[in-house]
Amino acid sequence: MTATAGPLRDTVALVTGASSGIGAATARALAAQGAAVALLGRRRERLEELAGELRGEGGTASVVAADITDRSRAAEAVEAVVSELGRLDTVVNNAGTMGVGPVEDSPLDEWERMIEINVRGLLYVTHAALPHLLRAAESSPRGVADLVNISSTAGRVARPGTAVYNLTKFGVNGFTEALRQEVVRKRVRVSVVEPGTVDTELSSHLRDGAREAVERQVEGLELLRPEDIADAVSYIVTRDRRVAVNEILVRASDQTW
């Protein structure tokens, strides 16, 4: 399939946290379905590299380097995408971070960073994007627009050592469902994808001690790949407008939690 021939042709998709991992894989998947893809993240060099790859395959890609934890910059980033590409049909809120460790000795800075990225960043992008998604749903030949939030199995299962990460992801799940009900009759589909253990950079950002604990927990598991989650996102947003896939839980096949 060429980059312009898929079911998302003539649509525009925005992916946050697009510089690596699930975000980069999702951008590739949506471009392969024909969408023009806006890549949002903080690492411009990586975003430019991915954009060059997508353009080389015949796709349309835009780079917006911004920190979405800044409310005004998040809003400006969304407006920049619409200004450059003309519309906004799909948003994938993928940007996120993880911190682990017992509550009693976890650094407060780590908690604040999770809340800033996993919750505030997602809210800021959603708030800025929603009016454009509502307009796209009215004007698109597909008759629908999509907002997909990337959560986690940690949004379903609370475990010792992940209390604040659980807080953020349970919050994402609750927000997603409430917003879905608000806009369901306006043809904006709101969905959540909950990945299990995925082979990404996420654990590499953990502090010493916490990183080793996570590595021990997943030792022996065959981890999911970012492309596995991108497949789930692609499935959601390419359904006919009569179909809404509200939630997809994707675990590694031998993951128990």
Which listed residue (59, 165, 180, 226) is catalytic? 165
Can you tell me the distance from the alpha carbon of 222 to that of 83, in angstroms, rounded to the nearest whole number?
42
165 labelled catalytic? yes
* Angle separating helix axes 122-139 and 163-183, nearest 10 degrees: 20
User: Pick from 73, 125, 72: which is nearest to 96 by CA?
Assistant: 125
Q: Which value, in Å, is the radius of gyration of the alpha carbons in the chain? A: 17
User: Pick from 143, 113, 117: which is nearest to 16 by CA?
Assistant: 117
Q: Widest CA span of the chain, in angstroms?
A: 53
Q: Which amino acid is at 254?
A: D
**Residues with catalytic annotation?**
165
